[in-house]
Amino acid sequence: MAAARRFMVDGQLRPNKVTDPALLAAMGDLPREAFLPPALAPRAYADEDVRLPGDRALLQPMMIARLLQLLRLREGDRMLVLGAGTGYSAAVAARCGARVDAVESDPALADIAQTACAALLPAGAVTLLRHDPLAGHPVGAPYDAILIEGEVPSVPERIALQLAEGGRLATVLAAPHRGAFSRAVVGLRAGGSFSVTDAFDCATLPLPQFQPAPGFVF
């Protein structure tokens, strides 16, 4: 696994524009397999999403790295991870110096996150919150950085409002129409407003709680 982790950094991250030294060090050190059910551990360093129960996924290493890099994390930043899954992104961000609140509503995934973070991080580095990620965590706001970990149709206003002035948000926005690509975006709160800029094309599973309720079909 250690050799696979080194290859992930040198073969997947560095060639794909991941240059942040703290981020490379964190992903080169954290055992990604600890954030998966044992049966899926052999796939921990595959260059693709690892499918999890409940139509969820542990995002591809390169995608996680590039999304986190968009946030330009600094030591002491207060960060919110929504749809944190098994906790890997939250743990990487904590290793980069952020103080992380991680929201996950799936009990099985949250249990894996709790166990892995407790074993691998200092106490309090990641606070796991078990509720609907669509609500964010207004009690803990404002945040310097927010990661919505999965594909969403748009960034809900209630989430954008939980950013501090100068705060950054990263996520994957669904393709606007058939034939278009989903894309990673970075959002910025500045001057009291929130704007989003495309960063790179990518694809991952939709985050279930952020999807619109199905309407009536006639």
Domain locations along the chain: 2-210
In this prediction, residue 181 carries a pLDDT of 87
**Which pLDDT band, with edges at 50, 70 and 90, does 214 fall under?**
low
CA dihedral 156, 112, 68, 21 (to 10 degrees): 170
Please provide residue 123's backbone torsions phi and psi, each rounded to the nearest 5 degrees: -55, 135
Q: Please tell me the class of the 2-210 domain.
A: alpha beta
Q: HSE of 150 in the Cβ direction (CA atoms, 13 Å)? A: 27
Query: Considering only 45-54, 125-134, 165-174, 209-218, which range has the smallest mean pLDDT?
Result: 209-218
- What share of the chain in percent tops pLDDT 70? 98
> Does residue 179 register a pLDDT over 90?
no
> Does residue 9 register a pLDDT over 90?
yes
In this prediction, residue 212 carries a pLDDT of 84
Q: Which residues contact 217 (CB under 8 A, 6 or more apart)?
A: none
Please give the average per-residue pLDDT across 86-90, as a whole number.
98
Give the tens place of pLDDT for each residue, 89-124: 999 999 999 999 999 999 999 999 999 999 999 999
Give the tens place of pLDDT for each residue, 19-65: 999 999 999 999 999 999 999 999 999 999 999 999 999 999 999 99
Give the tens place of pLDDT for each residue, 186-199: 999 999 899 999 99
Q: Which residues contact 68 (CB under 8 A, 6 or more apart)?
A: 20, 23, 89, 92, 93, 96, 147, 170
Average pLDDT across the chain, whole number: 95
- pTM of the predicted model as reported, rounded to 2 decimal places: 0.95
Gap between the Cα atoms of 128 and 109, Å rounded? 11
Reading the block at residue 207, the tokens are 């985050």
> Does residue 152 register a pLDDT over 70?
yes
In this structure, the number of other CB atoms found within 10 A of the CB of residue 201 comes to 12
> Does residue 159 register a pLDDT over 90?
yes
Closest CA to 101 of 109, 90, 112: 90
